[in-house]
């Protein structure tokens, strides 16, 4: 796999950073006709690695909704190692595009492929029973990050429910 291009066939999520997820979700509903967002305020992830170094984790506010099979994620950085999100916010804007999310079967293999290409993940982590995730910084080439996500059982059920709620497959 070539991680620098193969992600295009696996994109399931479009993610934005914002200063207020509730305000951004209301704006997406009004302007783009999304359904109601599901919110998780104060989501804390303890198992996080930034630039190859384990850190104490981070906390974000997150809102998600599907439009058919496409997932929209809104992220507000709250505390901890959240610079990857915070540094991309454009104050005064509804939201700022941040990353595409790509579902993968084996994140360890993706990590090996990324390393073989001479790169490293900017941030990676795990939400137990939900997912493992890792961000590849593609801002120089594309202006955004790519998040690779290996879903675990709760994560698979969560995203299936969001697709079903939106009428996706």
At residue 2, does pLDDT exceed 70? no
**Confidence at residue 1, expressed as pLDDT on a 0 to 100 scale:** 53
Burial of residue 92 (number of CB atoms within 10 Å: 0-12, 13-18, 19+): exposed
**Confidence at residue 4, expressed as pLDDT on a 0 to 100 scale:** 65
| Closest by Cα among 169, 157, 164, 149 to 73 | 149
pLDDT bracket for residue 133 (50, 70, 90): very high
Q: Is residue 92 part of a domain?
A: yes
Q: How far is CA 55 from the centre of its chain?
A: 19
User: Could you tell me which residues are beta bridge partners of residue 131?
Assistant: 127, 151
Q: How many domains does the chain have?
A: 1
- Write down the pTM of the prediction: 0.94
Three-class secondary structure of residue 18 per DSSP = coil
At residue 152, does pLDDT exceed 60? yes
Q: Is residue 75 part of a domain?
A: yes
pLDDT in tens, 13-59: 999 999 999 999 999 999 999 999 999 999 999 999 999 999 998 99
Burial 32-58 (b: 16+ CB within 10 A, else e): eebeebeeeeeeebeebbbeeeeeebb
Q: Is residue 1 part of a domain?
A: no
Q: Determine the structural domain holding residue 150 and report its residue range.
A: 6-166
């Amino acid at each position: 796999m070539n991680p620098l291009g193969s992600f295009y066939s696996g994109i399931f999520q479009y993610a934005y950073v914002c200063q207020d997820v509730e305000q951004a979700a209301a704006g997406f509903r009004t302007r783009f006709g999304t359904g109601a967002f599901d919110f998780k305020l104060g989501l804390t992830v303890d198992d996080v690695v930034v630039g190859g170094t384990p850190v104490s984790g981070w906390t974000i506010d997150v809102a998600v909704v599907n439009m058919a099979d496409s997932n929209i994620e809104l992220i507000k950085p709250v505390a901890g190692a959240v610079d990857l999100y915070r540094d991309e916010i454009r104050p005064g804007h509804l939201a700022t595009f941040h990353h595409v999310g790509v579902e993968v079967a084996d994140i360890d293999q993706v990590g090996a492929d990324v390393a073989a290409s001479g790169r490293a993940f900017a941030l990676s982590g795990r939400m137990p029973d939900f997912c493992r995730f890792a961000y590849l910084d593609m801002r120089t080439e594309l202006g955004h990050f790519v998040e690779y996500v290996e879903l675990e059982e709760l994560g698979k059920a969560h995203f299936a429910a969001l697709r079903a709620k939106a009428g996706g497959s």
